[in-house]
């Protein structure tokens, strides 16, 4: 939300003009009310009951921190200063370029401290790591006034608060590089305690912040308290930079293509649909950028690539997120054999630059990205792993073969989807080391050039690594008449009920009619590549903010309601009279507790021939 006042602005209702100071006050009132602190000019605009309700939902620690916030302000200290803080060292550079007595200015979070009277050791965490800092009351407060140490540092600061320090480097008796703090500045007073792990005398760690759902929902906390998480995303950037460097050295152009598209083309997938109000037309979040990149090849570029955010309105699991990143590359005058060699060189380079070697440890396997990779035709792979030769089968025979292999199929699936289902269920998981699966049937590949030696097949490969598809590439179809016929076949699949069949893109066909040179293209799943290079089995681990189910708000229960609910969890359902006897509550308390649970939709009371029963909803 912008806090900057504008010269003139319209309100949400009625379009009346409001002057800039009024607008600024409205914005600040809304902002402060969200965090439970009202600015002076808005104290009459929020009811006291609403404020009391807000405060009643805060934990004891959160209430204490708000009191400390107030105390800092009473001392004339701004807990959220706007001025630049002149950092000149990080924890890493201070240690790497250590000189005894060197003057440093640093900033970060206070992550631990050991107060011993007028002296204290603490740890400061910044973007580069942690460093020990030393506070001495008389060094920090040179005059008679010791408030900065005795009150601010010792009593009003908490773990997680962001501070700025200025001081000099020295080494402790045990050889630890440390900052002697001469000046202290409060940069941010935090209102929530960090979920920091605790270690007992035996070295056992408790209360780690390791619940996956909490970590993904609150990635900002995850990054603070689990520093290794940051390493994954630093490596992700190294991977994308390595790919960019590889293509840029070859003279290929990085481009951007539309995310909102009038036709969801370039892949077989279910799109997200939205509506453009001004144009009054439906638009789709892109499922692929392939057709736009090919238009650029038609326009005269020899090589173009894009790191694109694609969106598919399909299932979510450990390897699929509805929003994901794909790198697509298209190069004129090349074919899929050239693309295989290029892919091998690219991934070998990425592995070395991201991990220092070509072999990457993934789960129980060591995967070697050093070229060359085996090349296996898909129909031969199916025959090798199932004993069934599907090369000459029609749709009905393929459906029967899939059912014989206990693979779920339905009548909407054409030949391509049936072959894909058989390969995915029975073959894919066998390919742990990088392997090119090649020469897919034409029915599976509507945008791919017909194979030069077998008209039933296409010049296509998928790269399998660790039992999953990592890349998909073609010798691109550039015959406009053949492409139109393939699109029409996809339309027939759509009419059968296949909601992932491709649309006919008339503008793309028009572009092909102007002539596209022989071209090879590839799409590489960046999220899956990062998973491999960082040894993560879940896509959520390599996305800063993965898509999550809506967060369930915690429902506050009274002590009596908790008692009843806990008993219900042990036996569900349970006879009402039996449950009441177990609680040992008075009639009044029982009635109030059971009514509270049913009103809050945590439990229900039902009746049958055997009487009244209570169960968890």
Question: pLDDT tens digits, residue range 74-108?
Answer: 999 999 999 999 999 999 999 999 999 999 999 99
Which of 268 and 591 is assigned the larger pLDDT? 591
pLDDT score of 15: 41
- Confidence band (pLDDT; 50, 70, 90) for 6? very low
SS (H, E, C) 392-408: CCCHHHHHHHHHHCCCC
574-583: long-range pairs with CB below 8 Å, 24+ = 574/613, 574/614, 574/615, 575/610, 575/611, 575/612, 575/613, 575/614, 576/605, 576/611, 576/612, 576/613, 576/614, 577/611, 577/612, 579/614
User: What pLDDT shows up at residue 490?
Assistant: 82
The fraction of the chain above a pLDDT of 90, given in percent, is: 70
> Is the pLDDT at 17 greater than 80, yes or no?
no
Positive or negative torsion for Cα 89, 94, 97, 103:
positive
Per-residue pLDDT at 42: 44
Confidence of residue 504 (pLDDT cuts 50, 70, 90): confident
With tokens 């703090």, the residue in question is 181
Number of H helices, E strands in the chain: 20, 25
Which of 62-71, 200-209, 375-384 is predicted with the least confidence, judged by mean pLDDT?
A: 200-209
Give me the pLDDT at residue 445, please: 86
- Per-residue pLDDT, averaged over 415-440, amounts to 94
Angle at 250 between CA 249 and CA 252, to 5 degrees: 105
Rounded Cα distance between 296 and 257, Å, is 10
User: What's the pLDDT at 31?
Assistant: 45
Please report the beta strands in 162-279, taking only residues with DSSP state E, as ranges in sequence order: 162-171, 177-188, 198-199, 205-206, 253-254, 260-261, 273-276
Lookup: tokens for 360: 């990457």
Q: Which two tokens stand for residue 515?
A: 């002539």
Tokens describing residue 403:
């059912």
Query: Residue 550 — very low, low, confident or very high, per pLDDT cuts 50/70/90?
Result: confident
Q: Poorest-confidence range of 26-30, 59-63, 411-415?
A: 26-30
382 has a pLDDT exceeding 60:
yes
Identify the CA nearest to 266 among candidates 283, 288, 294. Answer: 288
Average pLDDT score over residue span 478-484: 94
Sheet holding 603-608, edge to edge: 574-575, 611-616, 603-608
- pLDDT at position 1 over 50: no
pLDDT band, very low/low/confident/very high, at 24 (cuts 50, 70, 90): low
47 and 23 in contact (C-beta within 8 Å)?
Answer: no
Stronger pLDDT, 273 or 503, i.e. the higher one? 273
Give the pLDDT confidence of 125-182 residue by residue, as tens digits: 999 999 999 999 999 999 999 999 999 999 999 999 999 999 999 999 999 999 999 9
Kindly tell me if the per-residue pLDDT of 9 is higher than 80.
Answer: no
**Average pLDDT of the chain?**
89
The tokens 């005059």 sit on which residue? 143
Tens digit of each residue's pLDDT (9 = 90 or more) over 451-472 = 999 998 999 999 999 999 999 9
For the chain, list the domains and their CATH numbers.
1-56 (no CATH), 91-194 (2.40.50.140), 231-374+433-542 (3.30.930.10), 559-616 (1.10.10.10)
Higher per-residue confidence, 48 vs 609: 609
Residue 581 φ/ψ, nearest 5 degrees: -60, -40
Quote the pLDDT of residue 549: 86
Kindly state the percentage of the chain with pLDDT values over 70: 90
- Terminal alpha carbon distance of the chain: 39
Per-residue pLDDT band at 617 (split at 50, 70, 90): confident
């Amino acid at each position: 939300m912008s806090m900057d006042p504008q010269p003139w602005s319209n309100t949400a209702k009625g379009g009346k003009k409001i002057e800039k100071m009024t607008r600024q006050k409205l914005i600040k009132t809304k902002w402060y009310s969200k965090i439970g602190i009202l600015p002076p000019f808005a104290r009459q605009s929020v009811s006291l009951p609403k404020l009391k309700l807000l405060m009643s939902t805060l934990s004891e620690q959160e209430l204490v921190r708000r009191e400390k916030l107030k105390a800092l302000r009473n001392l004339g200290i701004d807990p959220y200063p706007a001025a630049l803080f002149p950092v000149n060292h990080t924890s890493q550079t201070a240690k790497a370029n250590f000189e005894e007595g060197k003057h440093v200015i640093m900033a970060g979070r206070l992550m631990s401290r050991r107060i011993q009277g007028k002296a204290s050791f603490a740890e400061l965490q910044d973007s580069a790591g942690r460093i020990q800092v030393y506070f001495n009351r008389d060094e920090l407060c040179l005059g008679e006034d010791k408030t900065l140490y005795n009150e601010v540092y010792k009593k009003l600061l908490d773990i997680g608060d962001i501070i700025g320090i200025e001081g000099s480097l020295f080494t402790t008796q045990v050889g630890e590089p440390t900052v002697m703090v001469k000046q202290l500045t409060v940069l941010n007073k935090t209102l929530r305690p960090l979920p920091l792990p605790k270690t007992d005398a035996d070295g056992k760690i408790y209360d780690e912040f390791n619940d996956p759902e909490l970590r993904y929902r609150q990635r900002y906390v995850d990054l603070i308290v689990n520093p290794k998480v940051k390493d994954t995303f630093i490596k992700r950037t190294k991977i994308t930079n390595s790919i960019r460097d590889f293509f840029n050295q070859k003279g290929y152009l990085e481009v951007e293509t539309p995310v909102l598209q009038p036709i969801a083309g370039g892949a077989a997938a279910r799109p997200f649909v939205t509506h453009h109000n001004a144009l009054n037309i439906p638009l789709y979040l892109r499922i692929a950028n392939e057709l736009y990149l090919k238009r650029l090849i038609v326009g005269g570029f020899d090589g173009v690539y894009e790191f694109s955010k694609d969106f598919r309105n399909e299932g979510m699991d450990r390897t699929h997120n509805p929003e994901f990143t794909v790198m697509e590359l298209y190069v004129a005058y090349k074919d899929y054999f050239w693309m295989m060699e290029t892919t091998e060189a690219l991934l070998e380079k990425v592995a070395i630059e991201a991990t220092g070697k070509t072999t990457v440890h993934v789960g129980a396997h060591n995967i070697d990205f050093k070229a060359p990779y085996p090349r296996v035709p898909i129909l031969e792979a199916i025959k090798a792993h199932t004993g069934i030769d599907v090369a000459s089968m029609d749709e009905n025979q393929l459906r029967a073969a899939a059912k014989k292999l206990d693979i779920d199929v339905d009548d909407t699936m054409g030949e391509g989807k049936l072959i894909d289902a058989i390969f995915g269920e029975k073959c894919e998981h066998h390919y742990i080391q990088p392997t090119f699966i090649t020469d897919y049937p034409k029915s599976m590949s509507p945008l791919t050039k017909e194979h030069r030696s077998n008209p039933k097949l296409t010049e296509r490969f998928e790269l399998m690594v660790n039992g999953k598809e990592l890349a998909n590439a073609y010798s691109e179809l550039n015959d406009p008449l053949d492409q139109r016929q393939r699109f029409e076949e996809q339309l027939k699949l759509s009419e059968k009920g296949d909601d992932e069949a491709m649309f006919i893109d008339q503008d793309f066909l028009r572009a092909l009619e102007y002539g596209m040179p022989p071209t090879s293209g590839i799409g590489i799943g960046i999220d899956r590549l990062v998973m491999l290079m960082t040894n993560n089995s879940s896509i959520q681990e390599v996305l800063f903010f993965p898509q999550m189910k809506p967060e369930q708000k915690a429902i506050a229960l009274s002590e009596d309601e908790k008692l009843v609910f806990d008993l219900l969890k042990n036996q569900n359902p349970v006879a009402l009279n039996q449950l009441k006897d177990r609680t040992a509550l008075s009639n009044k308390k029982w009635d109030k507790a059971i009514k509270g649970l049913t009103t809050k939709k945590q439990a229900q009371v039902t009746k049958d021939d055997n009487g009244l029963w209570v169960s968890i909803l």
